[in-house]
Amino acid sequence: QSVLTQPPSMSAAPGQKVTISCSGSFSNIGNNYVSWYVLVPGTAPKLLIYENNERPSGIPDRFSGSKSGTSATLDITGLQTGDEADYYCATWDTSLRGGVFGGGTKLTVL
Amino acid sequence: EGQLVESGGDLVKPGGSLRLSCAASGFTFTSFPMNWVRQAPGKGLEWVSSIGTGISGYKYYADSVRGRFTISRDNAQSSHYLHMDSLTAEDTALYYCAAGDFLLSNSLDFWGRGTLVTVSS
């Protein structure tokens, strides 16, 4: 059971928008920055969003993040088949004194 | 662009020990906290440990590994390590090293491709 809760799977058609949610608590999302990562099997995980809504260089603006209270979301617009992957949210948990990840969301682009 | 290469993964018996290494290049290693994250077969990502910069940098561990795993870094070699003792089947996973400040800005900027640890008799 992950500390952060994500939907296990989501699907959408090419060109559409998907919103992946990440729910936590006061000690983690409520008090710390959130980041998002994409994981394609066989490749290194990649940072998509940090500090809730900042994109590293090279990440297209189709990817955006936000945070409100103890929840965060990752929006992906203009879906492409190449976006099919597992997406994870993450943050620091002040009470646990450690990092925490969501359980991951498998995105299928139909 | 930063690059990280893990090594040291192996098949080890329960109760055994292993040391993972992570070699860094392409970025200023001394400026980055370093981290280990693992993924068990069929499971999601799990944070394992983080170490800060500098000689007295912080060290944090997940409850599941505290007391058994030790994180360290060698700035002169641009490398960091994870020494693992008392391994159990639950430690079987692909272990990734990642560079970035997970504690403050919550960004793991660079990742390696992982090294596989299998604990089995």
- What pLDDT, in 10s, does the model give residues B55-68? 768 999 999 999 99
The Cα–Cα gap between A58 and A39 comes to 16
In angstroms, the CA A19 to CA B111 distance is: 25
Asked if A56's CB is within 8 angstroms of B107's CB, the reply is yes
By CA distance, what is A40's nearest residue in B?
Answer: B113
Mean pLDDT in residue range A100-105: 97
Q: Are B95 and B7 in contact (CB under 8 A)?
A: no
Mean pLDDT along residues B14-36 = 96
> Which residues of A are less than 8 Å from B101 in CB distance?
none
pLDDT at B107 over 80: yes
pLDDT band for position B69 (50/70/90)? very high
**Cβ-based contacts under 8 A for chains A and B:** 81
Quick one: average pLDDT of B11-23? 98
Strands A105-109 and A9-12 come out as parallel
Chain A contact present for B103, CB below 8 A: yes
**Spatial distance between the Cα atoms of B86 and B100, rounded to a whole number of angstroms:** 28
Q: Which of B3, B22, B45, B48 to mutate to test the interface with A (most CBs of A within 10 A)?
A: B45
Report whether pLDDT(A80) > 80. Answer: yes
Predicted local confidence at residue B105, as pLDDT: 86
Query: Could you count the other beta carbons within 10 Å of the beta carbon of residue B89?
Result: 11
**How far apart, in whole angstroms, are the C-alpha atoms of residue B95 and residue B98?**
10
CA distance linking residue A53 with residue A61, whole number of Å: 11
